Chain A
Amino acid sequence: MQHNGSMKVHVECCGAAARWCGAEELSLDLADDATVETLLERLSALHPELARRRDRLAVAAGETVVPRDHKLTANERLALIPPVSGG
């Protein structure tokens, strides 16, 4: 249910993103027409260390990498994927 045209989304901050954002899990209130780009803008405004790496981040919803214009839905869960270093 939406109030005042806003919705909550939940973000898992993976790897070093947890340090940049100060938490492993975040919840934010965004406009109900928000996209992944909107989310990153908000997070970048709140967390300068994330802002510096914004262009090198991927964002996933479940098993899928989503593009910046992916339209968010209420209570959607997303993951911030910093540059990877496995293998």
Chain B
Amino acid sequence: MTTGNLRPPRLRPGALNLAEFLAQPAPPHCGALAVFAGTVRNQHDERTVTGIRYHAYAPLAEKRLAEIEEEGARRYGVRLAVAHAVGELKVGEISVVVVARAGHRGEAFAACRWAIDAIKRSVPIWKEERYADGAAEFLEGNPLRPVSEP
């Protein structure tokens, strides 16, 4: 559920700062806060990864991230905030954040999991991995799907 024109974009240049998302005030009825943060790993398919460049088609990516927040709120009765990095990230840096605030932990955990799965299947973002041998490759990925899938 968006909060109007003052809301910052969900696509952010560079690594994400988790503290920023946790600093947002909790609705008073919420007793649970669940977080997922994806970070850049140093290995993929037995290759040493030194970093990832994230590419996005911004017009649709922003729209889909907003839809994920709205759909997750509708499905689970939670407040969701999602964000994804674009540009160059180093190993260990945070590339994606999902924060779910809910009355209780069950729906907070469920919404968190649903949201990251939805981001992976429905948002036009691509990983270009950088390897220790100097090579760089886009991951093969999966065809774009709608936000509203089970």
Contacts and interface: CB of A to CB of B under 8 A. Distances in A.
Interface of A: 12, 14-16, 19, 56-58, 60, 62-65, 79, 81-87
B81 interface: no
B144 A58 contact: yes
Contact of B126 (A15, A63, A65): A15
Interface stretch (B22-30, B70-78, B104-112, B116-124): B116-124
B19 interface: no
B126 A58 contact: no
Given A58-B144, A81-B57, A87 B138 contact: no
B6 interface: no
A86 B84 contact: yes
A82 B142 CA distance: 8
Nearest to A55: B143
Given A16-B126, A87-B125, 7 more contacts: A15-B55, A58-B124, A63-B59, A84-B121, A84-B124, A84-B125, A86-B124
Nearest to A79: B57
A87 B116 contact: yes
A23 to B, nearest CB: 15
